[in-house]
Amino acid sequence: MSQKVGRNDPCPCGSGKKYKKCCGLKETYEPLVPPSMRTGTSCDDYLEVLAIVALYGEKVERFEKDGRELKKAVSRFERRFRPGKPGGLTDSFFMSWMHFDFRFGESRETIAERFLKDPLTAQLKEPGLSIIRELSDSYFSFYEVIRSGPQAVTVEELATARRFTVIEIAKLYEMDPMPGEILFSRLVGTPRRAIFFTTPYIFGPEARTQLERALRIQEEDFRQNPAALLFPPERHFAESQKELALFWAEYIRQGEKAGLGESAAFPDAPPGRYPHLVNTDGEELVLAEMHFRIKDEPALRNKLASIEAYEYDENDGSWVWMKPRSRKDPDAPRTVLGRFKIKDNRLIAETNSRERTARLRSELKDHLGGLIAYDKTLWRDQDDMPELSPEEIEARKRESEELNSRPEIQEAIRKHLEHHYFKEWPRMKIPVLGGLTPLQAAKTESGRAKLKALLDDIERMEEGAASTRPKVDVDRLRRMLGLPPKAN
């Protein structure tokens, strides 16, 4: 019989830490946060589990095959955003992004998601597991202050209009938010009793319109991305914000750099001003619409169908210009750089920065040559965007349905769906399947249950898609994967 490892002995996993600070966590829920860092609020419970997840993250970084990718990403973040240093982002932003937002490796899972799947984790005592799941699901977002009182603050999330009662904000951050202010933070808890887990950044009320537009665009772009199929529809906004956490980090950094932003960490900053939005490449967000005259539309469509750099989007009859696929990690989500469509014998291309506009104009000319002739570029800032009227929304819907009903568009959509779902998708590693491919998941009972639920979600999404769009034969997918057809 082997001798039992003592709590203060070196951990047998080889981490170099004491057993009680490493694998011994499976037997006990150690208070890892020193008294000097305790707040005397409900935040202490979250800090306690964060310390445990952080230990697990160290193990991943040092001993697992994906550790090198994690280490490089952390190093890039520290060089770029200087967390915890004067003029840098807060430590709380960095720590929560690293453990709960950053997806890496073949599984595209966060540190917290990996931790929750580890066999040792199942033996942690409650409420630790529930708190870790809550933090894992959380994300950075913007909240408008509706009411502010001595004991609690009522806030409304800009993107979802959900309201939360946030407690202990004065005690945690020594701040008294005013109604109308916009707070950017990571919120955890329930609608009736929530806390801000990261130091809030504060923006003036006039930032609301600009921020709401940006959030709508981001969620819509995420829904158009194939990565959205890996998550249920109700998680799309949350996942779009996890994916774009560095976008908002750059947004905040630019404001701090220019002396325009205000945060709880910099209480003397002037209120009521905010920085320009930037895209994921750090370029100023300026909407551009390029117009090209089309000389031969059938030939142009044939040419576009043969260019792999542009993906056809069956939802609105446009072509999507995406960041090139990573050679190292071909399954990693790709950023949408722009899109273009054919309308009234014109090719109309849209991007969100001057730099991307110049690149796309050059690319289109190189690929399409004499099939198009440049006409003009229309520029406008985010603040110049008018809200669409109900009539304009309905008109756009009709235009999209009319375009998608064309036989050549229908055939292109059908081919795209056939290739994606019956050639690529069965061999893609899916996070909701535990990092397995559908073909691998179909080989076990638990995997088949998850696969069945995922296919049911895809079927519901297909039923809700535009009536003119070709649909995926989900029953064919079920047969292909050895699952029974859905009961009527």
Q: Say if residue 248's pLDDT is above 50.
A: yes
User: Are residues 181 and 145 in contact, defined by beta-carbon separation less than 8 angstroms?
Assistant: yes
What per-residue confidence (pLDDT) applies to 431?
60
Alpha helices in 64-189 (DSSP H): 67-81, 91-100, 111-117, 128-137, 169-173
What per-residue confidence (pLDDT) applies to 177?
86
Backbone phi, psi, residue 182, to 5°: -110, 125
Residue 39 CB neighbours (<10 A): 14
Taking each helix axis from N to C terminus, what angle separates 91-100 and 67-81, rounded to the nearest 10 degrees? 160
User: Are residues 357 and 351 in contact, defined by beta-carbon separation less than 8 angstroms?
Assistant: yes
Vertex 237, ends 426 and 390: CA angle to 5°? Answer: 110
Closest by CA to 158, choosing from 237, 256, 221, is 237
Distance CA 173, CA 176 (A): 9
Backbone phi, psi, residue 189, to 5°: 115, -160
Distance CA 33, CA 43 (A): 11
Q: Say if residue 262's pLDDT is above 50.
A: no
Distance CA 303, CA 290 (A): 19
Average pLDDT, the chain: 79
pLDDT in tens, 140-173: 999 999 998 878 899 999 989 999 999 988 888 8
Average pLDDT estimate for 28-43: 58
Residue count of the chain: 488
Choice between 275 and 296, residue whose per-residue pLDDT is larger: 296
- Quote the distance between the C-alpha of residue 127 and its chain's center: 27
pTM across the whole model: 0.54
Structural tokens at position 336: 């949408």
What per-residue confidence (pLDDT) applies to 259?
40
Order of all β-strands in the sheet with 286-294: 310-313, 318-322, 336-343, 346-351, 286-294, 372-381
The residues facing 377 across adjacent strands are 290
pLDDT in tens, 103-149: 998 888 999 999 998 887 767 777 888 889 999 999 999 999 999 88
Closest by CA to 187, choosing from 150, 232, 153, is 153
DSSP run (H or E) holding 196: strand 193-196
What per-residue confidence (pLDDT) applies to 185?
94
Distance CA 102, CA 296 (A): 45
What per-residue confidence (pLDDT) applies to 98?
95
**Residues ≥6 apart with Cβ < 8 Å to 324:** 309, 334
Would you place residue 30 in the very low, low, confident or very high pLDDT band (cuts 50, 70, 90)? very low
Taking each helix axis from N to C terminus, what angle separates 390-404 and 407-419, rounded to the nearest 10 degrees? 80
Would you place residue 371 in the very low, low, confident or very high pLDDT band (cuts 50, 70, 90)? very high
Annotate 317-335 with three-state secondary structure.
CEEEEECCCCCCCCCCCCC
Q: Say if residue 25's pLDDT is above 70.
A: no
Residue 32 CB neighbours (<10 A): 17
Distance CA 47, CA 31 (A): 10
- Quote the distance between the C-alpha of residue 84 and its chain's center: 24
- Reduce the DSSP state of residue 209 to 3 states and report it: helix
What per-residue confidence (pLDDT) applies to 304?
92
* Strand spans (E) along 220-316: 262-263, 286-294, 310-313
Q: Say if residue 347's pLDDT is above 90.
A: yes
Residue 279 CB neighbours (<10 A): 21
Peptide bond before residue 127 is cis, with ω within 30 degrees of 0: yes
DSSP run (H or E) holding 342: strand 336-343
User: Are residues 435 and 106 in contact, defined by beta-carbon separation less than 8 angstroms?
Assistant: yes
What per-residue confidence (pLDDT) applies to 379?
78
Backbone phi, psi, residue 441, to 5°: -65, -30
Closest by CA to 205, choosing from 163, 152, 156, is 156
CA dihedral 459, 460, 461, 462 (to 10 degrees): 50
Distance CA 107, CA 396 (A): 38
Q: Say if residue 66's pLDDT is above 50.
A: yes
pLDDT in tens, 388-409: 566 766 766 676 566 667 776 6
Which range has the worst mean pLDDT, 72-81, 221-230, 315-324?
221-230
Q: Say if residue 10's pLDDT is above 90.
A: no
